[in-house]
Amino acid sequence: MKLGILILLYLFGVYADYSPLSYVDRPCGTDLSNLWLDVIAVVDNSRGMTNKGLSNVASSILSVFGENTRIGSNSVEPRTTRLGLVTYNSVASQKADLNQYQSIADAYTGVFDALSTTVDTIQSYLATGLALAERMLVDQTVNSTRAHYKRVMIVYASEYNGNGESDPLPLAERLKLSNINIITVAYEQPGSVGLLQGLTQIASPGFSFSSEFVAGNIVKEVQNALLQSNCFCPDWIQYRGSYSDPASSRYGVCLLPVGVPVVWAAAKIECSNRWNNSYLATEFNQAKHDFIFNAAQGSYFQQNPYQYHIGLNFVNGAWVWDQPAGQPQVNLKSWFNWGTGFPNSPASQSAVSNIQSALTTKWNNVGTFTTPASYICETYSCDTDNYCDAQNMKNQ
């Protein structure tokens, strides 16, 4: 079974063009042809959008998925994206469920037909569109073969209205807590008040855009948000540019702090067994080191001082970083974080732990079988270069 999974991962190009020998952390996949998501476009078709604006929205939606993204479902190739369509004004209407479009050609015909003209009302209540899209995602993804796929809503709006039951914000917050990403695009019209500000509250962090501000780049902005949505860690912590900023750019790296103290050699084996291609964590730079320390502080690690094993160890005369089984280990270079007086002779202390020193942690070399501590595991994220099937996610 494990061999089959490894072959599957190889066929889907887990490593793509990335090599850890580059001494940079793995980026998220960027291959739009391998996007695997369930997406519902939620489009304001009230009079405020205007026919021209609605036509622009239709063109934008199709351009987003027009770069060889596989639309529909495929029993042989799991890296596909299903696209549903909802319109809303005073009420919401389902224009296409998640199984209607089985090709980009289907989507072209269906989307342009559904968004050909606005309706004769100025009322525009986003809450109705979000509620219908939520029901569609629940009915058409939960307990299905795609239940492990990331779910995304793309909102195209010309107005932001609603108080009380018509307020879309509580519903949007619930959707985001349910692990549904929301991308918003503001189509501001004369007289629009507070549209972008309101939609920014609705959107997932960093996923709020304006057709006015980004001009012709709105397609690229939405595509990048979809790629970021498709880059995720099912249960581990995803490494990103800033631990405190959820909107900061993500890396294709997942981290798992383990608060059960074991010796370094045991931690290495435990990490390799945690998930496919997992290993003890690397710290190629200060930013990664700081992020890991923040993650350790947010976990159930023993404190005063914090101490946890990382993947640095001494092998064949050199300090190297642990890597997945079968891959070459990476020589230490360019950035060092040794504590004062370290490293000691590696003859009997050939492994490395981070040990707290004042407000940070420093590398201390320790014995591989003598110093129990917590530890940090690392693996690759699920993304367009690394398809993760449902069983793999359960095993994480």
Please compute the mean of the pLDDT values over residues 218-243 and round it to a whole number.
97
pLDDT reading at 13 higher than 80? no
355-370 tens-digit pLDDT: 999 999 999 999 999 9
Please compute the mean of the pLDDT values over residues 228-232 and round it to a whole number.
98
**For residue 184, what are its two tokens?**
């918003």
Q: How far apart are CA 288 and CA 305, in angstroms?
A: 20
Looking at the structure, do residues 15 and 73 belong to the same domain, yes or no? no
β-bridge partners, 93 = 87
Give the chain's mean pLDDT.
Answer: 92
Query: Rounded to the nearest 5°, which phi and psi values hold at 155?
Result: -100, 130
pLDDT reading at 143 higher than 50? yes
Please compute the mean of the pLDDT values over residues 267-286 and round it to a whole number.
96
pLDDT of residue 396: 55
Q: Residue 325 — pLDDT band, cuts 50, 70, 90?
A: confident
62-102 tens-digit pLDDT: 999 998 999 999 989 999 999 999 999 999 999 999 999 99
pLDDT of residue 11: 36
Q: Residue 7 — pLDDT band, cuts 50, 70, 90?
A: very low
Outline where the chain has alpha helix (H).
Answer: 2-11, 51-64, 104-114, 126-141, 169-177, 195-202, 211-214, 218-229, 264-274, 286-297, 390-395
CATH of the domain at 163: 3.40.50.410
195-207 tens-digit pLDDT: 999 999 999 999 9
Looking at the structure, do residues 350 and 209 belong to the same domain, yes or no? no
Region of poorest pLDDT, from 25-39, 188-202, 290-304: 188-202
Beta-sheet strands, E only, within the chain: 37-44, 82-88, 92-96, 150-157, 180-186, 208-210, 237-240, 250-262, 279-280, 307-315, 318-321, 330-331, 351-357, 360-366, 373-380
Say how many domains are in the chain. 2
Q: How far apart are CA 353 and CA 306, in angstroms?
A: 10
Query: Rounded to the nearest 5°, which phi and psi values hold at 166?
Result: -90, 0
Region of poorest pLDDT, from 46-50, 292-296, 370-374, 391-395: 391-395
Looking at the structure, do residues 197 and 286 belong to the same domain, yes or no? no
52-65 tens-digit pLDDT: 999 999 999 999 99
Residue where a domain terminates, one of 229, 252, 273: 229
pLDDT of residue 344: 96
Looking at the structure, do residues 316 and 217 belong to the same domain, yes or no? no
Please name the residue that has the structure tokens 């519902």. Answer: 40
Looking at the structure, do residues 319 and 386 belong to the same domain, yes or no? yes
pLDDT reading at 191 higher than 90? no
Looking at the structure, do residues 194 and 238 belong to the same domain, yes or no? no
Q: Which amino acid is at 237?
A: I
Looking at the structure, do residues 90 and 201 belong to the same domain, yes or no? yes
pLDDT reading at 390 higher than 90? no
Q: Residue 194 — pLDDT band, cuts 50, 70, 90?
A: confident
pLDDT of residue 392: 64
Looking at the structure, do residues 8 and 68 belong to the same domain, yes or no? no
pLDDT of residue 216: 57
Please compute the mean of the pLDDT values over residues 10-33 and round it to a whole number.
81
Looking at the structure, do residues 21 and 107 belong to the same domain, yes or no? no
155-176 tens-digit pLDDT: 999 999 878 889 999 999 999 9
Q: What is the pTM of this model?
A: 0.91
Looking at the structure, do residues 146 and 276 belong to the same domain, yes or no? no
pLDDT reading at 268 higher than 70? yes
106-140 tens-digit pLDDT: 999 999 999 999 999 999 999 999 999 999 999 99
CATH of the domain at 258: 3.10.100.10
Residues of the domain holding 287: 2-29+234-395
